Structure 1
Amino acid sequence: MEMLEYFYQNRPQNENFVPRKCTLDDHPRINLFGARGVGKSALVLDYLANLDKKNILYIDLDDPNILFAPLGSLQNFIDKEAIETLVLDHYNDNDISLPKVKQLIIVSRESIDDDSFTQIKLTPLDFEEFLAFENSAHTSASFSHYLKIGSLPRFAISHKATLLETKEFLKSKFSLEEIRLLGFLALFATKQISINQIYTRCKEHFKISKDWLYKTMQKLQTEGIIHLVEDYQPSASKKLVFYDNAITKYLNRNLTFIMLFEQAVVLELLKKDEEICSFYNLGYLYTDGVLTILAPFDSEEAVWAKCQKNISKLKLAEIQDAKIITVANSYEYTIDGIRFEAMPFYEWSLVDFEV
């Protein structure tokens, strides 16, 4: 029980925690899950800070000392200390018999397969959450910062994502093989590509097995590190999007502002509707039939001409409403009964995009 006593007496504390939209409650069994670096541990520690510390046991399953001190006496320790809330952080199908306790919180990268748990998914910061980390009163300036430093809390708190910090984050969260694969995938960020094409091109640069690639791609998708967005046309390849701009930018120094802008828009859309699809070369369509068109710097006239040229595709898809996402422009018009409304990203994400 010595290891359990150590965890009991040395629960980590948050520093500079900024509240998130996602919250925890007193449900008896909770699975908090989400991708690496999205702030799961900070969120659960903030929840624990409001409870009586003598009734809490927080166990970090990533602690290397656990390798030499199995947790077989966990139930006895819970009973002895009258533990009411147990947290198993960094859970990864560990060989642990889940004990009986008033409240059990499991923190993992992927959701666990157990219907008795309330599943709570934590995603990277959306723009509204990011603003809570910012000191600027100007949302337009904060948007530029958001594109630059990304959507992971650790970079938002420090207000920077230097090359060294991003490198250290990757090294601490991913294996060398995963980093190598992510580096290759970043070359195709916001582009259409199939997993078979990824395999064919990867093996030209480094040794890789098809089995490992397919399993790792599935793991990265399930966890939410990458997204392969379906195309409106079933035969077309999926579009690859990363979960964070700072990481993508570090892995691909040739990433343009347009690509970063597109990733930011897609990530906002995915928070609202995981069933979005890429719609030709115009933008993204989600299940309520609204088309999101990306036009960061395009003039109103240029966007109108593009929409007019593709109006038959919109009508065939029975689209009645389209949102045009820009950097700074606002305008609206109607073409053949379809309403088009343009607004800057920072307005769209905060006002028009409330879930």
Structure 2
Amino acid sequence: MKILEACYEINFSKINFIERKQKIEKSKTIISGPPKTGKSYLIYDYLSNHKSKDYLYLDFSDLRNNIEEIYVDLQKFIKMNEITILVLENFEFQFEIPTCETIIISTSYPYKIRGFENIILNALDFEEYLLHDNKHQNITQSFNSFLKFGNLPELINIDEHKKIQRLQEILKLSSLDETYYEILKSLIENIDEKKSLFQIFNSLKLKIKISKDKFYEICKKVENNKIIYFIAKYNQEKSLKKVYTYNHSFFNAISHSKKFKNEFSNMIFLELQNRYDEIYYLDNIDFYIKSKNMAVIAIPFFNSFLTANLVKKIIKISHEFDINEINIITISNSEKINDSKIKINVIPFYEWALS
């Protein structure tokens, strides 16, 4: 029982935690989500409100923790020490869950068990990012950092010259092997592009040796783990899908190429997917929220004179789909466009994200 005794001594009473929009509220909870989004700190915060003698924290990514040895004595140890809260961190359901009053599990993918609430924890949205960011003096500086280095909590307090390196490390650490890493990179390289998986596969196989089955298997895995998102065109399931990733700054970490509009669109998508269950795209419309009859378009540097033709196309397609609100998201421009049937807002990202 040495491992269990050592883990039982872990104390989280002095954890410094900044509030997230999601929190553990049910006694049986499974937390999943992409790497480095803050799953562990959500658990630390929960445990910090309880006496250390009441909980047992087991992290299965800790090399010192032998799964077989833990499982043999776990139920007995819980009963012997009258433990009321059991935490299984980085648990892949290698053994049957023991009996305990409160059980909190963190895992890499959504796993449904009757009686357990599921929390999918994404990276910080912009509002949460501002609460975490105490380095910058104003919202403009915070926005610039958010845009350039992304939405992962730990990146905020790392020295700027080390941030790209850390993003690269996170991608490598979250990859199961070299093939997984190359597939993940190839998907990130295509953010905000309309691409079929077959097109991406054909490009990748020119670089590495890979089977189609392996490629599709890993694509399904990164989609299930909320690392990559594939967005369909509305009412056209067989059309090309648009690709997005859970941290818009990953592209900046893997390439010297500049795809500013793509990264900006990915950033907007992440705000939307925190708010809405179903997001589509249309011709000339980046994001279509059917449930709200709303369109969201990314035009970083909006100029009413230069984009007049594009706006006409956007309004035309909006009339066809009975869209009654268009939000054009920019870096800093703000404007009103008059239309007899549609409310059209041109609004900076930081205003829109906080609205």
TM-score, with structure 2 as normaliser: 0.93
- SS of 2:156's equivalent in the other structure is helix
Alpha-carbon distance between aligned partners in 1 of 2:137 and 2:327, rounded to the nearest angstrom: 25
- SS of 1:322's equivalent in the other structure is strand
Alpha-carbon distance between aligned partners in 2 of 1:85 and 1:285, rounded to the nearest angstrom: 43
Say whether the 8 Å CA contact 1:334–1:340 is kept in structure 2: yes
Alpha-carbon distance between aligned partners in 2 of 1:164 and 1:285, rounded to the nearest angstrom: 35
Residue segments in structure 2 that go unaligned for 5+ positions in a row = none
Structure 2 counterpart of 1:177? 179
- SS of 2:269's equivalent in the other structure is helix
User: Do structure 1's residue 242 and structure 2's residue 252 form an aligned pair?
Assistant: no
Say whether the 8 Å CA contact 1:232–1:280 is kept in structure 2: no
What fraction of aligned residue pairs are identical, expressed as a percent?
28
Structure 2 counterpart of 1:151? 151
Alpha-carbon distance between aligned partners in 1 of 2:73 and 2:261, rounded to the nearest angstrom: 55
Task: Pick one of 209, 215, 218 that aligns with 1:216.
Answer: 218
Structure 2 counterpart of 1:98? 97
Deviation, structure 1 residue 327: 1.0
Alpha-carbon distance between aligned partners in 1 of 2:249 and 2:302, rounded to the nearest angstrom: 25
Residue segments in structure 1 that go unaligned for 5+ positions in a row = none
Stretches of 4+ moved more than 6 A in 1?
A: none
Deviation, structure 1 residue 246: 2.8
- SS of 1:10's equivalent in the other structure is coil
Q: Relative to structure 1, is the Cα distance of residues 151 and 230 closer, same or farther in structure 2, using a 3 angstrom cutoff?
A: same
Structure 2 counterpart of 1:340? 344
Alpha-carbon distance between aligned partners in 2 of 1:14 and 1:214, rounded to the nearest angstrom: 44
Letter in 1 for 2:313: K
Say whether the 8 Å CA contact 2:30–2:117 is kept in structure 1: yes
Say whether the 8 Å CA contact 2:61–2:90 is kept in structure 1: yes
Letter in 1 for 2:127: E
Task: Pick one of 296, 305, 313 that aligns with 1:301.
Answer: 305
- RMSD, matched Cα: 1.9
Q: Relative to structure 1, is the Cα distance of residues 167 and 313 closer, same or farther in structure 2, using a 3 angstrom cutoff?
A: closer
Letter in 2 for 1:291: A
Structure 2 counterpart of 1:86? 86
Alpha-carbon distance between aligned partners in 1 of 2:116 and 2:159, rounded to the nearest angstrom: 35
Structure 1 segment 180-199 matched on structure 2, within 5 A: 180-199=182-201
Structure 1 segment 4-15 matched on structure 2, within 5 A: 4-11=4-11
Between Structure 1 and Structure 2, how many residues are aligned?
A: 349
Deviation, structure 1 residue 132: 1.2
Alpha-carbon distance between aligned partners in 2 of 1:327 and 1:310, rounded to the nearest angstrom: 19
User: Do structure 1's residue 165 and structure 2's residue 179 form an aligned pair?
Assistant: no
Deviation, structure 1 residue 307: 1.9
Alpha-carbon distance between aligned partners in 2 of 1:86 and 1:346, rounded to the nearest angstrom: 40
User: Do structure 1's residue 201 and structure 2's residue 203 form an aligned pair?
Assistant: yes
Structure 2 counterpart of 1:49? 48
Letter in 2 for 1:44: I
- SS of 2:157's equivalent in the other structure is helix
Structure 1 counterpart of 2:315? 311
